[in-house]
């Protein structure tokens, strides 16, 4: 999958297309004897060359062999025909017009053979985010689930909601096992219901206070995650809508962020030499 700057591509095609039309008009005027030559500013010439290079880059991203070759030939023609602020006659304008027109034609033809997925800004951000999917703290506390979290974000962005939820539940299962281990509960591969029961007992014997309240709240949130989503996602006839996947993704993200904070706080308060 390639990330394309469509705004830059559109600007490049528009600018070069306009430049070709201007060159064609000036060539006609030269042939009719109305003007002797065409002047092209150095900055404008450099901009044309830059846009031809961008089209070559897009061609390589999308594997468009004809567009790549045409863009390279256009750059060669531009470099060979450069005259600074000098006079551009028909002997130079002709090859430039032909090379630039051919580049645009090849690009349009080959783009017609490609399927491009467009994402709105919010979904594009799910794919473009730098760093861990849910931030450094979650990555520190749960390093083994980062691939599933990244895949869940990608599936959400690409409108694959059931796959998104599947990856989230894999991540949640690993997180629950980490939580159970932190609370000193064995049998980590048991089903969620049994682990939740043991967790509740461990939390109830904690000293009363803010810490116990926080763990109790976390246990309650985890129970609702289990009831609402985990059992269903494994059912062969169950699928999720994009709206449902959005809610699950947001809820799991909030839960993991809270759990990561609890684990980090508990570790910082633990006596030296304990975890």
What value does the mean pLDDT of the chain take?
86
Question: How does DSSP classify residue 202?
Answer: H
More confident residue, 13 or 232: 13
Position 227 scores a pLDDT of 67
Q: What percent of the chain has pLDDT over 90?
A: 44
Report the predicted TM-score, pTM, of the whole model to 2 decimal places.
Answer: 0.68
Distance of CA 153 to the CA centre of its chain: 9
Burial of 90 (0-12, 13-18, 19+ CB in 10 A): middle
**Which domains does the chain carry?**
6-111 (1.20.120), 121-269 (1.20.120)
φ, ψ for residue 38, nearest 5 deg: -115, 135
**pLDDT, tens digit, 9 for 90 and up, residues 148-169:** 999 999 999 999 999 999 999 8
pLDDT in tens, 212-247: 888 888 888 787 777 666 545 545 447 888 988 898
What gap in Å lies between CA 75 and CA 163, rounded to an integer?
A: 44
The answer to whether 118 touches 86, Cβ cutoff 8 Å, is no
Residue 86: Cβ within 10 Å count: 12
For residue 274, pLDDT over 80 is answered with no
CA 155 to chain centre: 11
Q: What angle do CA 25, 29, 30 make, to 5 degrees?
A: 115
Residue 24 pLDDT greater than 90, yes or no: yes
């Amino acid at each position: 999958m390639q990330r394309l700057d469509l705004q830059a591509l559109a600007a490049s095609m528009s600018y070069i297309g306009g430049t070709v039309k201007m060159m064609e008009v000036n060539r006609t005027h030269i042939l009719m004897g109305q003007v002797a030559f065409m002047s092209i500013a150095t900055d404008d010439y450099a901009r044309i060359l830059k846009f031809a290079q961008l089209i070559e880059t897009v061609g390589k991203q999308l594997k468009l062999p004809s567009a790549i070759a045409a863009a390279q030939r256009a750059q060669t023609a531009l470099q060979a025909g450069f005259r600074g602020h000098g006079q551009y006659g028909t002997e130079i304008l002709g090859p430039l017009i032909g090379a630039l027109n051919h580049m645009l034609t090849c690009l349009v033809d080959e783009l017609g053979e490609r399927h491009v997925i467009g994402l709105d800004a919010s979904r594009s951000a799910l794919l473009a985010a730098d760093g861990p999917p849910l931030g450094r703290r979650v990555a520190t506390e749960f390093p083994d689930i980062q691939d599933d979290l990244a895949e869940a974000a990608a599936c959400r962005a690409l409108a694959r909601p059931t796959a998104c939820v599947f990856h989230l539940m894999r991540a949640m299962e690993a997180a629950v096992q980490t939580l159970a281990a932190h609370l000193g509960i064995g049998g980590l591969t048991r089903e969620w219901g049994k682990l939740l029961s043991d967790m509740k007992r461990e939390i109830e014997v904690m000293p009363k206070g803010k810490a116990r309240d926080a763990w109790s709240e976390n246990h309650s949130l985890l129970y609702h995650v289990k009831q609402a989503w985990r059992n269903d996602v494994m059912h062969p006839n169950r699928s999720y809508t994009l709206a449902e996947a959005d809610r699950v993704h947001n809820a799991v993200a909030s839960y993991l962020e809270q759990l990561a904070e609890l684990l980090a706080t508990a570790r910082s308060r633990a006596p030296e030499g304990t975890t």
